[in-house]
Amino acid sequence: MLSGKLKFLRILLLSIFATAATSAYITQHQPPATVLNTETPEQPQFSVMHNSENLVVYPERINYKSIPLESLNSARQGSDPETLALNAIEDVGSEKGTRKVEVIYPQHNQALVTITHIPQNSPSVTAIKYRVEMNTFGRSLLVSSPPVWEIIWAGSQIQCKAGSRQSKSLKCEI
């Protein structure tokens, strides 16, 4: 019985040494995987899009006056596009009236929120429309959590009542 255990122990030790020697041989005789790039890397080219270029890329913005994102006092990132847009617009248009909110997703990583605000006692304004565009920014900690949305553009448009006209300051005048 002792000889059977010794044979088993001898085979086990030989297989361990053979595995160690083979792995050492393979790791020492492989060519290095580092690739050196002698070319100078290209620097990314950034350009500032002016308002006219912006309208060419996004023609649906042509009827809206851009709202600077820096002027928004609310958070510009969140998990619900509708709530995010309503919070951003609360600061801009705080007049009393009724609101209609529409959220569409042109692509899986884009959200477009249109808020139509109908003022209560305005003699010249029929409606004020807000447009808030968002992109996904990533996800929060858990994989199953909803995506994080970020406001990338906001704009407003005023619809004047019949008999009124819109001035250069984008206000309706009777």
Q: What is the pLDDT of residues 135-166, one digit of tens each?
A: 987 666 666 778 889 999 999 998 888 766 66
Q: Do the domain assignments include residue 17?
A: no
Number of domains in the chain: 1
Residue range of the domain that includes 87: 66-162
pLDDT at 90: 79
Between CA 85 and CA 102 the distance in angstroms is: 11
Whether the per-residue pLDDT at 167 is higher than 90: the answer is no
pLDDT 10s digits, 7-43? 888 898 989 988 888 877 777 766 554 445 555 555 4
Mean pLDDT computed over 92-121: 85
Q: Do the domain assignments include residue 135?
A: yes
pLDDT 10s digits, 42-82? 544 444 444 444 545 577 888 899 989 888 888 888 889 99
Asked if 62 and 55 touch (Cβ cutoff 8 Å), the reply is yes
Q: Do the domain assignments include residue 25?
A: no
Between CA 66 and CA 54 the distance in angstroms is: 11
Q: Do the domain assignments include residue 98?
A: yes
Q: Do the domain assignments include residue 37?
A: no
User: Which residues on neighbouring strands pair with residue 165, listed in sequence order?
Assistant: 173
Angle, alpha carbons 57-60-62 (nearest 5°): 85
pLDDT at 103: 95
Q: Do the domain assignments include residue 94?
A: yes
Q: Do the domain assignments include residue 21?
A: no
Give the pLDDT band of residue 86 (cuts 50, 70, 90). Answer: very high
pLDDT at 46: 40
What percent of the chain is modeled with pLDDT above 90? 23
Q: Do the domain assignments include residue 51?
A: no
pLDDT at 138: 67
User: Which residues on neighbouring strands pair with residue 133, listed in sequence order?
Assistant: 112, 153
User: What mean pLDDT is reported for the chain?
Assistant: 77
pLDDT at 120: 81
